[in-house]
Structure 1
Amino acid sequence: MSAPPVLRCVIVDDNEINRFTLEHFVELTEGLELVASLPDARAALSLMRSAEQPIDVLLLDIEMPHLSGLELVPLLPSPAPDVVLVTSHPNFAVDAFDLRVTDYLVKPVEYPRFLKAVDRVRAHRVSAAPAPTADPTPATFENSELFVKVNNKLVRLDFNEVLFIEAMSTYSILVTETQKHIVYITLKALEERLPFAHFRRVHRSYIVNTRRIDSVHDNMLQLGSYEVPVGKSYAEEFMKQLRGL
C-alpha cells in the first residue's frame, strides 16, 4: 500500500509553549510537513496568500491579539486548508454555522487526540476529492459535517443524517432517526446560514432534508418514522422543486 500524501501544515498560536508542543507532534507524525510555525494570525494570512503551494492543514489558536483565529478563517484563500481549531476553552462560543472547521482541540492537547484530528483531516480530504467518474450529476454529499453548539458544547453533526429541523420559539431542534439536538438559533437565522442546498423550508416551523423524504401524501412528508406538514404558502413552489430534484 502506498503511503498517504504528505500534508503541509502551518501552526498559528501566540503562545510559544503551545507552538512548541504542536511542532513536536507534527514532527512525531508520519505524513506531516511543517511549513511554518507563527505567533500571529496576520503573518499566517500573508504566508498563505503568497504560498506557491497550498497549505493543507492549519492548526489555529482562537484567542490572539490583532486578529483572532475565528476572524482569520473567513479570510483564508481558496483552496482553503482543513482548519483544526485549538483553544483553552472547551465551551468557546463558536458560531458553528459560519465556520467550516474539520476538528476542534482543547488545550492541553494530548498526542492521541492530535492523531485523531489528523485522521479526520485525511478522511475529510478524501471525501471532498472529486469523484473519478464522468457522472454529470453534482455530488453534494461532501463536506456534510458542521460543528453545532449544543448545551454549551460543540458537537460534530453529519447533516446527511438530519431528517428535518423544527422551530421551537427562539431555538430549533435538529432531528435525526435516533436523536434530537437543540440549538439556540431561530429557524429563520438557521435557514439563512445553513450551507446545504438540499435543505428546504416547507412550513413556517419546518426545514426538511429533501434527500431523506420517503414519500409525499396529502401535503404530508414522510421522513423515516416522522411526518412533516407542508404549509399552504410553500406547497406549490416546493412541489415544483421536488419534481425537479
Structure 2
Amino acid sequence: MTPSAKLTCLLVDDNEMNRLTLEHLIGLTPELELVASFSNAVDCLAFFRQGGKVDIAFLDIEMPLLSGLDLVRILPTPQPDIVLVTSHRGFALDAFDLRVTDYIVKPVEFPRLLQAVQRVLANRAATLLPEPSPSPIPPPRDQYLFVKVNKKIVRVNYAELLYIEALSDYSVLVLDKQKLIVYSTLKVLESRLPTAQFARVHRSYIVNTKRIDAVEDHMLGFGKHEVPVSKSYQEGFYRRLRGV
C-alpha cells in the first residue's frame, strides 16, 4: 500500500442502526474506503469465498446463524485485519486467541475507530520489516521478562520494548518489530518491570525511558509511535527526565 492509498474495508452487523453508524464513521475516516456492508455473516463469508478482498473487516460478534468469531475461524486465508465490534467485553479472550487486530466495545466512538485504524497501519508496516536475527547469546536475566501470549510463554527483552498500552483486562506490548497482546493488567506488568528503566506516564501507558526519541507537547516519540503524558504524571515524569 502506497502512503496515499486507502485501506479498503467492509463491515458486518445485524443491527441496522449500529451498521449505519459505523458506515458514517468510516466515511469520515480519511484512511478508509468502505467496499461492502452486510447485515449478516453468511453474506460476508460468500463475499470472501467468491474472491472478494479487503484490508480490514469490522465484524460484530453476536449475530444469528454465524457469529463474528465463527466467521473469523472459517474465513479463507490470507485473512484481512480483523477488528471485532461488540457490546460485550466477555468475548475478549476468545477474540485475541484468534489473533484479531483490535476489539472495540460499542457504542463505537470516532476516536476509538481512528485508534483501531492506526493499529492496523502499524501491524501492516511491521510485516514489511525483516525478521530479526536470533541472538546466539541471551541477555542477562535482569534484562527481560516472560509473558503469556495465547498459549505460549514468550520472552520480551527490555531493550526491544518501546511501551505498554492498557486494553481493558489486556495489555499490548509494543516492541521494535511486533506487538504482543497479553492477558494481564497494566498494574501487574508495572510491578514486574524495573523502575529504573520503565515509567508510568498515563493511566493507560508505561514507557521504556531508554527508548524515548523525542518529547513535544506532552507527547513522547518512539520512532513512528507516540504516547501521551497525562497531566497527573507530567511533573514527576519530567523531573525524572531532567535527572532532578
**Normalised by the shorter chain, which TM-score bucket?**
0.5 to 0.7
8 Å contact kept, 1:145–1:159: no
Q: Aligned partners of 2:149 and 2:9: how far apart in 1? A: 22
SS in 2 for 1:20: helix
* Closer/same/farther in 2, CA of residues 84 and 154 from structure 1, 3 Å limit: farther
Rg larger for: 1
User: What RMSD over aligned residues (CA atoms) do the two structures have, in Å?
Assistant: 3.7
Partner Cα separation in structure 2 for residue 147 and residue 84 of structure 1: 18
2:35 aligns with 35
Matches for 1:123-134 after TM superposition, within 5 Å: 123-129=122-128, 131=130
Contact residue 7 and residue 33 of structure 1 kept, 8 A:
yes
Number of residue pairs the alignment of both structures matches: 158
Q: State the TM-score, normalized to the length of structure 1.
A: 0.55
**1:94 partner letter:** L
Counterpart residue number, 1:15: 15
Q: Which AA in structure 1 matches 2:61?
A: I
Residue 155 (1) aligns with residue 189 (2): no
SS of corresponding position for 1:116 = helix
The corresponding residue for 1:111 is 110
The CA deviation at 1:89 is: 1.0
Does residue 84 of structure 2 align to residue 69 of structure 1? Answer: no
Which residue type is aligned with residue 46 of structure 1?
A
Encode CA deviations 1:196-223: one digit per residue, 9 max, x unaligned: xxxxxxxxxxxxxxxxxxxxxxxxxxxx
Aligned residue in 2 for 1:210? none
Distance (Å, rounded) in 1 between the aligned partners of 2:69 and 2:108: 19
Check the 8 A contact 1:23/1:34 in 2, yes or no.
Answer: yes
Q: TM-score if structure 2 supplies the norm length? A: 0.55
What amino acid maps onto 2:119 in structure 1?
Answer: R
Q: Specify every segment of 5 or more residues in structure 1 that has no aligned partner in the other structure, as ranges.
A: 139-143, 162-171, 181-245
Tell me if structure 1 keeps the 8 A contact 2:54–2:80: yes
Aligned partners of 2:43, 2:174: CA distance in 1, in Å? 34
1:101 matches 2:116: no
- Is the contact made by 1:83 and 1:103 (CA closer than 8 Å) also made in structure 2? yes
1:157 maps to a residue whose letter is: V
| Identity level (%) | 50
Helix, strand or coil for the counterpart of 1:67? coil
Match of 2:202 in 1: none
1:136 & 1:115 partners in 2: Cα distance? 29
- What is the deviation of 1:147? 7.8
Give yes or no for contact 1:86–1:104 (8 Å, CA) kept in 2.
yes
Q: Distance in 2 between matches of 1:47 and 1:60?
A: 14
CA shift at 1:154, angstroms? 4.1
Q: Is the 8 A contact 1:147 1:156 kept in 2?
A: no
Matched-pair contact (CA < 8 Å) for 1:13–1:64: yes
1:159 deviates by: 8.8
Aligned residue type for 1:126? A
- Offset at residue 90 of structure 1 (A): 2.5
